[in-house]
Structure formats: C-alpha cells, structure tokens
Amino acid sequence: MNSHIFQNNHAMWAILFVFSIFPIFSSILDLPFWNDVLMRIMLLGIAAMGLNLILGFGGMVSFGHAAFLGIGAYCAGISQFFGLDNGWLQLAITIFICGSLGLIIGFLALRTTGIYFIMITLAFAQMIYFFFVSLEKFGGDDGLIIDRSDFIIIDLYEPLRLYYLILATLIFTSILLTMIVHSRFGVILRAIKSNESRVEAMGITTLRFKIIAYVISAIVCGIAGCLFASWQEFVSPDIMHWTRSGELMIIIILGGLTYIAGPLVGAVVFLLLEEILPELLHFFAPSIAENWMVIFGPMLVAVVIFGKGGIMGLLSNYFDRGRNV
C-alpha cells in the first residue's frame, strides 16, 4: 500500500472518529447547534464523495449531480405526502429511481466528452429542477414541509438518533467507495481518466464502466438527499439547483480530487468556514461582517492555486517531507 492510500485512509478514519465522539463534547458544552452543523457536513460529504467517484477518479465533470440530491429528497417528501413514512422503503425507492435516472442520463450523456458532457448533465439537471418547480401539488417553488421518516426501531426524534444514522451512512459510503476505487473496476476507471483510447485498445468497453460509475454516483447522491430531507424536515427545488452542483464541485476540489477522503475534508473546511468566518468578522471587523464571502472566495482560490491536490495534497506533501527528513 503506497503512501497516497495510507494518508487517504488515515485522514478519513480520523474525521469519522471525531464525528463519532463529537456529540459528547457538544453535550458537555451545551452547544447542540453544532450537531446540526456536523450533520449538514456529513450529508454534503456523502453527496460529494458520490460525485467524486466520477469526477476525481473517472474524469467526468458532471454539473448536474445536485439533481440526484434533490430527487432523493423528493423521494422522501412525496412518499410522506402519500402516507408512506417508512424510511427504509423511502431509501429503497430512492436507490431505484436515482439508479434508473442515472442509467438513462449516463447512457445519453456519456456518449459525449468534455464541454458537451458538462452541458448535457447541466441541461438534464435544469429540466429536472423546473419539473419539480412545476409540481404545485407538492408545493412547487415553495417546497413541502415533511416529518422525519420512520426507520421503525430508530426514532429520529430522539436526540442524536438521526445524527448517528447519518454517520453510519457516511461510514458505509466511505468503506464502499474505498473498496470500489481500489478494486479492478476502480483501476480501470482511473485508467479511463488517464487515457481512454489506450484502455479501448485493450479491448475494454469503457462506456460500460463509465455508466456503472455514473449510476453508483447518482445513487450515493440520492441517498444523501433522502436523509437530507429528514434532517431539514423540508424539501424544495432549491436543493437541486445547478449552484448546488457547483458547491459540491468546490468542496471536492478544495479537499482533493484524487483522494477518497478529499470530499469529506473539503466539506468540513468549506462548511466550517461558512459558519465561523462571519462570526470572526463580526467580532474583529463588524462593518464588513455581512460581506464575508469577499474573504471566503479568495481563500478558496488560494488553496486551489497553491495547493495542488487540494488540502489532502498539502497534507500528503507535508507528511512525505516529514518522513524524508
């Protein structure tokens, strides 16, 4: 196992361990709000890890994956609208619908590459977005207020039950994607990213591998969306707007494209900065506190420009230098 994978796994498990014990400290300090912040980090981290399977390891730049996040949320919302409160069934519906749509969209979009693939995925995402905006029965643009799903033995209204359900999903997703990336399938997927023509010359049908990766990616994003609906107790088309896809891509690039833990690290840094930076500016420079994005933006740009491989790349280089000293 090379140092790249070594650092990758250690960073991922360190973050998951911190997430698992964090509620102890939030309870001691009486700061339950931060549990909600971490749940949002974990949910967007799951979605970003799903997207990174095709973006970071497959080289497929999809600008429409927020659509699957929204479809997962609406699978929970519309199911509840018709009286189906069982969270496990909602997840099954999410997997089926997101997998089916991922197969259809992937089959059509992956016959193109580059800017054409980006635009096709964006076009499909906008079509789905405006479709849900038009559904007045389910709230249209105003959205739909829902209850938390019923996971039978897991009462999500009990303190921390939802938190640990999301954490368990994140752990399962992390393990699953690690196994996929380091499997024969993952090796071929990375080879396709590196040189698709050479892989095709070996007699391998690259389209089949790319479609499978796209479907897995869509399902992971859908599951994140389904749990997002229970966490927020509200679903609306805003969750699948194209800007959300951009946010997921920023999170991945910030954390590190070619690292399994990259999206998770990116989600932690991105969302913590969103929470902490306005408060710091309010304390040190109240006059510009409302314009915190003016500082936040250049910080992200600096990481992308000076930190090749994102934050995980910086950490990997730092530990590599430390071992060589």
- pLDDT given at position 324: 55
Please state the φ and ψ torsions of residue 19, each to the nearest 5 degrees: -60, -40
Q: Other CB atoms closer than 10 Å to residue 223's CB: what's the count?
A: 25
- pLDDT given at position 223: 96
CATH topology for 3-324 is ABC transporter involved in vitamin B12 uptake, BtuC (1.10.3470)
CA distances from 75 to 94, 134, 136, 155, 324 (A): 6, 16, 16, 20, 51
Block means of pLDDT (10 residues each) for the chain, length 325 residues? Answer: 50 90 90 91 95 92 92 94 91 96 93 88 93 90 88 78 93 93 92 90 90 96 94 92 88 88 91 84 74 77 73 73 56
Q: At how many degrees (to 10) do helices 242-255 and 293-306 cross?
A: 50
103 vs 164: CA distance, rounded Å: 31
Domain ranges of the chain: 3-324
- pLDDT given at position 30: 86
160 vs 147: CA distance, rounded Å: 16
200 vs 197: CA distance, rounded Å: 5
Residue in 116, 97, 68, 96 with CA at minimum distance from that of residue 242: 68
Residue 39 amino acid letter: M
